[in-house]
Amino acid sequence: MNNKNISRRKFLIRAGTGVGGLAIFQSAIAKPVVNLLDENSPLIIPENFEPCVWFTMQSSGRTNVHIYNTEFGQHIGTSLAQLVAEELELNWSDVSIDYPSMDQPTKQAMGGVMTGGSMGVLRAFEPLRRCAAIAREFLVEAGADSLGADISDCRAEEGFVIDAAYDQRMSYAQILSERQIDHVIQPEELLEAQLKNPSDFKIIGKSVAALDVPEKVNGSARYGIDAYAPNMIYGKMSLAPTRLGSTIQKIDDSQAEDISGYITTLKLSASGFFGMGVTDVALVLAKSYPAALRAEQVIDVQWDAPVANLLDEVDLWDEAQRLARTREGAGDWLKVGDAEQAMGESDFTLEAEYSTSMIEHAALEPRSALVQPIDGTYHIYSGHQGGAMLIQFVANVLNVPEDKVVYHPHQIGGSFGDKIYADQIVVAAQASQEVGVPVKVIMTREDQFNLGHPKSISLHKMKAGISQQQYAAPGQRILAVEHDVIAAPDAFGNRPGAACDSIDDNQSQATSNVPAPVVAGSDHWYDLQSTRVSFVPHQMQQQVIPTGAVRSVGNYYTVFAVESFIDELAEAMQVDPLTLRLSLLQGRGRNAGVPVPDAVVSSLPDTASYVSAGGNVRLANVLKIASGVANYRSPLVGKRIGQGLSIAAAEGRHNPSFSACVADVSLTSGGNINVEKLTVCADVGMVVNPDGARAQIEGSLLWGLSSAMHEAATLEKGRLKETNFDNYKWQRNADLPELDIHLVGNGVVPSGIGENTMSLVAPAICNAVAALTGKRLRSLPLKNALPLV
């Protein structure tokens, strides 16, 4: 097999006989480029080596790694470049990254690239390394040939092919200047890639500086809002009185006609994405953005607002309570054993109810879009998490073929799910189609709140059946747990949940279809004798506010409910919460995770499916580390401090990062909660960039703190009451807890890092407050319960 490949490759690696000399460059490998100064003397441009969509090697020795994921602070480009550089044996200083445009051919080649769910590195881990390893073999072969060496004596190292037998070397730059390697790696070749052993990694696992940091320090980074096209005009939205369902009756712009630069106002309609609610938008166009802002103030739009949508926050909660009683539309997401029967056999039951508010993305860059029509093709300059889906969506709205829409990605000034939604891109595209010139739509902060896609409210009804049996292990005494999650369904489609016959059953059957992101995290990793988790859709909320994916999606509230309830159970059973948790993390049934075959891991065909290998034993281990490091409930911590635990395996079973937290909490003299320290241990499988991972966890923890303590978006007459950061409060650079972060790589592949620790914070704080004061807080944000008296 190997020999056959080598002979095929020999055919593909082309070079002139007697390597060296300008004539050979020209005839054999160089691409002639017309020299405008002298047509008879073409410029000599050696061709690049482009074996796959992921990277291009230039004859200068530089390698450009093409990043199809969107960059919004996670430094995904750097992590993916590390994967390529490692297997390709590059010198890190020879690596750069770029962000290709997304058009229909690219979409066909790449499939639907979507950045989200903390899946970026995991999805790329296998294909990028394998392509790079195969390209490395080509370079070694070409280098060996040029050196006149036996290929078996040659290896690649830091940008050189080295012949160990004769102690000679040749750089990649030299090799690629003299030869053209003309090969595109085929999918069937990927399995033959000779991957490095992880113990030999030199770049993966190293805290290289992020490649997108310098431009973010000197102000030159280009974000979507910075997009520019010659003769573009500007659009300012004038928004409807309700978030959804309002329609424009009439636009009177006579007052705006005196404003210098005012052009016109268009009646448009937009939705955030396929399947989401539609709203009319009046788009004020002007030659400058300030002129558009001024004109929008004076135009008179007559709206028809649907009375049914004029709801307030209290209506959402009344409906949630009604749904909790009736369980209307409930679907089972997880079933282990027969929880109903086991509940009936228990000695006593415990019930609790938890609730959380709506949360806005509040990304600091408001959404914006520049759409430029050129010869019937619409060029989108913006920041969006899924360019492939975006061109499909916009083509659909504009009623043009998909190959007439191209997305040019820009840096994203914070997303957290916000830049999945494309209302502003749709509006800019529609306007550019109508007026025929480039249109740049910039949302103000008020527009952003008004046209937002917040996280749903959530209500959790939890019930457990407990046995009084004295001598059983604590976990064995919990006979049944039932959890109803009441929240708005999302627009991303349903997935079947899982049903197992018993705690030791690892072959689950499909249950009802449920929106997986909305219930993410409720499918937790505790070994329960029997359990049932159900989703009850809050349709009313989705009809009034199109709720969306916000950092960690469902984990934020499901982990809050589950981890608070575990502590309440521990108290009722009079066992320590740490003891109870460890007793429920024994790797039973499906909680053992995906079994890994005894083969060498690098020979596995699809390592991504082994992300959960090790199962909840890894959760037990991070919990032990975090509680140990935090000196959990040692007398030395002192009575002034309450400590609380939590664990999570966000984002879901398909991509768990096992993490644990200890919150150290005290009370101020005024009865406010002072979070002094968060100790976290995260097992992210394999750490690609330790400093980058740490940065993500630092941000996630403070996000979790901000959401838990402060954040609440509220419904008022069919739209959000909050309009800007003066009335939507979040964490400032003040009163920060100490963050003590410990990274563990106990898996076989890297898992997600951007979301997993965010959901730990709220339950750890509440468990700590309960330990300190005896008072149980069951509703987020906690500011509503303060001061504690």
Partner 1 sequence: MARLQINNKSYLVNEEADTPLLWVLRENLQLTGTKFGCGGGHCGACTVHINGEAVRSCQVRVDDVDGAMITTIEGLSSNGDHPVQQAWMEHQVPQCGYCQSGQIMQAASLLRSNPNPSDKDMERSMRGNLCRCMTYTRINAAVRTASDKIKDLS
| Site map 230..269 versus partner 1, x via CB under 8 A | ----x-------------------------x---------
> How far is it, in rounded angstroms, from Cα 748 to Cα 323?
42
Residues 6+ apart with CB under 8 A from 329: 323, 536, 537, 539
Q: Could you tell me which residues are beta bridge partners of residue 354?
A: 460
Minimum gap (Å) between residue 414 Cβ and partner 1: 4
**Closer of 99 and 703 to partner 1 (Cβ):** 703
Task: Find out whether 118 and 553 touch, Cβ atoms under 8 Å.
Answer: no
**Closer of 336 and 442 to partner 1 (Cβ):** 442
Minimum gap (Å) between residue 445 Cβ and partner 1: 4
Q: What is the DSSP string of 494-536?
A: -EEEEEESSTT---PEEEEEE-HHHHTTSS-----SSEEEEEE
Minimum gap (Å) between residue 368 Cβ and partner 1: 9
Among 105, 187, 219, 376, binds partner 1 (CB under 8 A): 219
Q: Cα torsion at 516, 518, 519, 521 (round to 10°)? A: 90
Sequence letter at residue 24: I
C-alpha gyration radius of the chain: 29
Greatest extent of the chain over all pairs of C-alpha atoms, in Å: 96
The DSSP H or E segment spanning 44 is: strand 43-46
Minimum gap (Å) between residue 458 Cβ and partner 1: 22
Q: How many residues bind partner 1 (CB under 8 A)?
A: 62
| Site map 681..700 versus partner 1, x via CB under 8 A | ----------xx--xx-xx-
**Closer of 120 and 413 to partner 1 (Cβ):** 413
Residue 736 interacts with partner 1 (CB under 8 A): yes or no = yes
Residues 144-203 close enough to bind partner 1 by CB under 8 A:
none
Residues 401-440 close enough to bind partner 1 by CB under 8 A:
411-416
**Closer of 565 and 703 to partner 1 (Cβ):** 703
Q: Could you tell me which residues are beta bridge partners of residue 661?
A: 646, 680
List strand residue ranges (DSSP E) for 517-627, in order: 531-537
> How far is it, in rounded angstroms, from Cα 742 to Cα 683?
9
**Closer of 322 and 732 to partner 1 (Cβ):** 732
Among 223, 535, 557, 658, binds partner 1 (CB under 8 A): 223
Sequence letter at residue 545: I
Q: Both tokens of residue 170?
A: 């040749």
DSSP 89: T
Binding region for partner 1 (CB under 8 A) out of 13-21, 211-219, 453-461, 621-629 = 211-219
Minimum gap (Å) between residue 742 Cβ and partner 1: 16
Minimum gap (Å) between residue 54 Cβ and partner 1: 24
DSSP 471: S
Among 11, 166, 348, 725, binds partner 1 (CB under 8 A): 725
Q: Both tokens of residue 151?
A: 């290929």
Residue 636 interacts with partner 1 (CB under 8 A): yes or no = no
DSSP 413: S
- CB-based burial, 349-374: b 16+ in 10 Å, e otherwise: ebebbbbbbbbbbbbebbbbbbbbbe
Minimum gap (Å) between residue 452 Cβ and partner 1: 14
Q: Where are the alpha helices (DSSP H) in 179-299?
A: 214-217, 289-298
Residue 637 interacts with partner 1 (CB under 8 A): yes or no = no
**Closer of 218 and 574 to partner 1 (Cβ):** 218
Residues 40-79 close enough to bind partner 1 by CB under 8 A:
72-75
Task: Find out whether 238 and 282 touch, Cβ atoms under 8 Å.
Answer: yes
DSSP 358: B
> How far is it, in rounded angstroms, from Cα 390 to Cα 112?
10
Minimum gap (Å) between residue 721 Cβ and partner 1: 16
**Closer of 139 and 227 to partner 1 (Cβ):** 227
Task: Find out whether 274 and 393 touch, Cβ atoms under 8 Å.
Answer: yes
Among 97, 170, 442, 768, binds partner 1 (CB under 8 A): 442
Q: What is the DSSP string of 186-202?
A: -GGGGGG--PPPGGG-S
> How far is it, in rounded angstroms, from Cα 441 to Cα 426?
10
* Tokens 């457990």, located at residue: 464
> How far is it, in rounded angstroms, from Cα 50 to Cα 57?
6
Binding region for partner 1 (CB under 8 A) out of 17-25, 93-101, 313-321, 728-736 = 728-736
| Site map 519..558 versus partner 1, x via CB under 8 A | ----------------------------------------
Among 544, 702, 761, 782, binds partner 1 (CB under 8 A): 702
> How far is it, in rounded angstroms, from Cα 208 to Cα 204?
9
Minimum gap (Å) between residue 706 Cβ and partner 1: 7
**Closer of 250 and 732 to partner 1 (Cβ):** 732
Residues 348-407 close enough to bind partner 1 by CB under 8 A:
362-366
**Closer of 446 and 501 to partner 1 (Cβ):** 446
Minimum gap (Å) between residue 424 Cβ and partner 1: 14
Residues 277-316 close enough to bind partner 1 by CB under 8 A:
288-290, 294
**Closer of 362 and 425 to partner 1 (Cβ):** 362
Q: Which residues are at the interface with partner 1 (CB under 8 A)?
A: 72-75, 209-210, 212-223, 225-226, 228, 234, 260, 288-290, 294, 362-366, 411-416, 442, 444-446, 691-692, 695-696, 698-699, 701-703, 706, 724-726, 730-734, 736, 739
